[in-house]
Amino acid sequence: MARSSTTRRRIGRPVSSRAADGAVRKLITANGLVAILILAAIFLFLAFNSQRALQEVGILTMLTGREWYPTIGVPRFGFLPLMAGSMVVTLTALVMSVPVSIAAAVFVSEFATRRVKEISKSIIEFMAAVPSVVYGFVGLAVVVPWVKEVFQLSSGLSALSAAVVLAFMIAPTIVSIAEDALHAVPNELRQGSLALGNTRWQTTYKVVLPSASSGVLAGVMLGMGRAIGETMAVLMLTGNAAILPSSVFDSVRTITGTIAAEMGNVVQGGLHQSVLFNLGLVLFTITFIINLVADLVLEKQRKRWRR
């Protein structure tokens, strides 16, 4: 409001330009609002369809139930095995992917020559463009037999197999965001550190990485969001046993995999369907929180260098 009054008082600008300025601003604002509205609509849609299960099963029973048998005579709708499945796969994938991805980002940003940098960046971008079903297929053909062989398992379809493939799938997200964050560190800081008698490597881990830490963290969070939300590859590789896993070698079933596998076979408006919408709501909440935190962290990073 204060802004529009100062605009009106400003001298020397033609009225038409001012009007166009206002129109563009309104258009952009409308676009932003539409995005928020769509998000709200998705949430309301999920919440609305969740009503029946919330009344008949109850949120607490779902969130703390240890058994998932949705189609037996007296069905059990416990989310714990599914949430545990998602967590095991996601965290294992992060453990494998994060160190390598950060190292790759450091290499690309700090050590690679310009040509190597360009090539690696386009390969990393290409990795993000491969459809997830292709990753799943490669996982089935390569990773699953390998895991079975190496760890002497009766079946290679396990949390570990899915995590290995997911580690590759989330790497582009982590690498590109971490690389952006490292790249944004002002060159004067590197020069300052080198001039104090530090090696390139010391400069990287003592000044550049800490300066970019919040951006790197945001990359990890977004990678995590991607891992939790990934459906096709995990559906193909986890074996889909809805039991609480005791190790990464167990077959697990994830939240996304459950929704994708069961949504097609449920009675419209039935209890099972409503429970699946609740599951969707849980997933929505988790990814929303992760993305929100990542965004806040990135915003903090941007402010730091705006001086």
Q: Considering the complex, what minimum distance in angstroms separates the CB of residue 113 from another protein?
A: 8
∠ CA 41-42-47 to the nearest 5 degrees? 95
**Can you tell me whether residue 284 is helix, strand or coil?**
helix
DSSP string, 117-171: HHHHHHHHHHHHHS-HHHHHHHIIIIIHHHHHHHHT-S-S-SHHHHHHHHHHHHH
Q: Considering the complex, what minimum distance in angstroms separates the CB of residue 27 from another protein?
A: 37
Binding residue for another protein (CB under 8 A) from 188, 267, 268, 269?
188
Q: Is 175 in contact with 124 (CB distance < 8 Å)?
A: yes
Q: Considering the complex, what minimum distance in angstroms separates the CB of residue 201 from another protein?
A: 10
**196 makes contact with another protein (CB under 8 A):** yes
**61 makes contact with another protein (CB under 8 A):** no
**16 makes contact with another protein (CB under 8 A):** no
Contact stretch for another protein (CB under 8 A) within 34-42, 156-164, 186-194, 279-287: 186-194
Q: Considering the complex, what minimum distance in angstroms separates the CB of residue 188 from another protein?
A: 4
Comparing CB distances to another protein, the nearer of 134 and 189 is 189
Comparing CB distances to another protein, the nearer of 248 and 297 is 297
**Which amino acid makes up residue 164?**
V
Binding residue for another protein (CB under 8 A) from 76, 117, 121, 304?
304
Binding residue for another protein (CB under 8 A) from 73, 197, 264, 269?
197
Q: Considering the complex, what minimum distance in angstroms separates the CB of residue 218 from another protein?
A: 17
| CB proximity list for 48: less than 8 A, separation 6 or greater | none
**194 makes contact with another protein (CB under 8 A):** yes
Q: Considering the complex, what minimum distance in angstroms separates the CB of residue 205 from another protein?
A: 11
Separation in Å, CA 128 to CA 73, 175, 267, 289: 43, 11, 36, 23
**265 makes contact with another protein (CB under 8 A):** no
Contact pattern from residue 96 through residue 115 relative to another protein, giving x for each residue in contact according to CB under 8 A and a dash for the rest: -----------------x--
Residue ranges in 206-225 that form contacts with another protein under rule CB under 8 A: 206-207, 210-211
Q: Which residues pair with 252 in a beta bridge?
A: 239
**Can you tell me whether residue 246 is helix, strand or coil?**
coil
Residue ranges in 150-169 that form contacts with another protein under rule CB under 8 A: none
**183 makes contact with another protein (CB under 8 A):** no
Binding residue for another protein (CB under 8 A) from 64, 191, 265, 285?
191
Q: From CA 264, how far away is CA 94, in angstroms rounded?
A: 30
Q: Which residues pair with 69 in a beta bridge?
A: 76
Phi then psi dihedrals of residue 72, to 5 deg: -80, 175
Q: From CA 8, how far away is CA 2, in angstroms rounded?
A: 10
Q: From CA 187, how far away is CA 205, in angstroms rounded?
A: 15
Contacts with another protein by CB under 8 A lie at: 113, 186, 188-189, 191-199, 202, 206-207, 210-211, 304, 307
